[in-house]
Amino acid sequence: MKQNIKLVVVAVLGSILSLVVYSQFIQPKVKIIEKEQSTLPVFRTSNSTGVVAAETLTDFTEAAEKTLNAVVHVKNTAIGIQQDPFAEYFFGRGYGGREYERVGTGSGVVISPDGYIVTNNHVIEGAKEIEISLNNQKKYKAELIGADKSTDIALLKIDAEDLHFITFGDSDTSKIGEWVLAVGNPYNLTSTVTAGIISAKGRDLEGNNNIESFIQTDAAVNPGNSGGALVNTRGELIGINTAISSQTGSFVGYSFAVPSNIAKRVIEDLMENGSVKRAVLGVSTQPKSDLDGVYIAEVSKGSGADKAGIKSGDVIKKINQVKIHKFSDLVGQLVAKRPGDQVLVTIDRDGVEKLMKVTLSEVSTFVSEAFGIQFGELKAKEKQDLNTEVGVKVTKINNKDLQKLGIRPGYVIVSINNYTLKSVADIDLIKKMVKSEESINKLVVINLQGERETFSRGW
C-alpha cells in the first residue's frame, strides 16, 4: 500500500515539474495588447514615425465650413435694347429700339468682415444694379468700387458688418496635384462645394490675351460659378474661378481660376487708386519652343531691365526664385507686381546664370517697339477726347508699308489682325500671334482727325 502511495506522489510531482518547465522554457510568450478604440486604417508617413488616419487626408469639412458662408450670389441687372427691324430698315439703325432688363448671375467672395467682395468683371460688366445674396438669403445692394477687364477682376462693397470672409493664400506656393475646393453658386443654387486637384499652373487659354496665367483644376465648375472661390484644404483663397473649358457650356473636365496673388494686387490697386497700374520689366520676348525659360529679344532703353544690365539674348529662368518655364509664367509674376517693385531676376547668359535686381517700370511710361512702330500709352484725357477705351499711340514709325497708308506719329492703333490693343503691355502678346510685319492683314486705327479707319491686306 505504501508503495502505491509513493508512486502516486512521484507521478503528481513529475506532472507539476513538467508543467513548470513547459510554461517557462517551451511555451511561446504571448503579449496581450489592448484593443484600440479607432478601427480606421492607418499608415506611416515618410517623414514621421507616428501613424495618421487615412481618412484625414481627404477631409474637406474644415475648408468647406470656412468658405461656404463667405461665398455669395451676385445678380446684375443691365439695360438692353431690342431693335425694331421695320423701324431700323426705314429710318436707320438705332431708331425705334425698346429697352428691356437683362439679368445675369454669378458668384462672389467676401474678403473682409465689413463687406468687400471680389468677383469677375464679366459677371457685373454693364450692370445698372448689382444685388448680393448671402448664403443665409439676406440681400444687399452692392456698390462697384472698381473693375479691371484685363484680369477679369472686379471689387464690390455692401453695407454690412461681421461677415464671414475668406483670407488670401499664396497662389505661388500651390502645387500641381494639390487638393482644392471650388465654391460658388451654379445654376442659382446656394453655395455649393466641389473638389478636385490642381491640374496645371500658368495655363494660357487660346484666344485670351490678358492673364495667360490661370490655375487649371478638375473641380466641377458650371454656369454661375464665375467669381467664386478656389480654396486649398486650409480654406485659404488661392484663386477666383473664372472660366471653363467646354463645348457645351457646362463642365466637362477642366476649369480655370485667376491666381489669388494677381487678384489681391488688383484689389489693392482698386481700393487705393480706383484703377490698376501695370508693371513691366521693359523687355520684348520671342517664343522658342525648345527653350525652358523666356528668351529676351529686345531690351528697351531706360527701362528697369536695361538699368539692371539685362541684355538681348538672355533667358529669364526665375522671378523671385519662382521658376519661369514659359511666357505665361512670366506674365503671371509681373501682373502680381506693382510699378516700382523690385524683383530678383535669374537669367541664363551663354550657359552662366546671373542674378539681377530689377525695378519694374510703369506701363503708362513704357514704350514698346514692334513691326517697325514705336508705341506709347494713351492718357485718360486722350481716350476721352477720341471717345475710345482702347488703343495705343504711334510715337515713331519706320514701317514703309504703313507709312504709305498715311500712318504717322499721333495715330492710334486700335487693333491688329482683330487683336485689340488695350495698352502697350499687349504688344508682346500681339507679337506672339503676329510673327512679322508681313503677317499684318488687318489694321484698325484712329487718325489725326479722330476718325476710325480700317485697312486690310491688299493696301
* Catalytic residue check, 213: no
State the CB neighbour count (10 A cutoff) for residue 69: 16
* Catalytic residue check, 226: yes
* Catalytic residue from among 191, 226, 328, 423: 226
CA distance 145 to 133: 18
Q: What angle do CA 93, 96, 99 make, to 5 degrees?
A: 105
* Catalytic residue from among 112, 122, 150, 246: 122
Instruction: Give every CB contact of residue 279 below 8 A, 6+ residues apart in sequence.
Output: 334, 335, 337, 338, 339, 340, 341, 360, 361, 362, 363
* Catalytic residue check, 303: no
Q: What angle do CA 128, 131, 132 make, to 5 degrees?
A: 150
- Give kind and range of the element (H or E) at residue 122: helix 121-124
Locus of grid cell 487693333: 415
Indicate left, alpha or beta for 194 from its phi (over 0: left) and psi (-120 to 50: alpha).
beta
DSSP annotation of 379 reads: P
Instruction: Give every CB contact of residue 84 below 8 A, 6+ residues apart in sequence.
Output: 95, 96, 97, 98
Q: Counting every residue, how long is the chain?
A: 459
* Catalytic residue from among 107, 133, 152, 191: 152
Strands (E), 291-334: 294-299, 315-319, 322-323
Q: What residues are labeled active site? A: 122, 152, 226
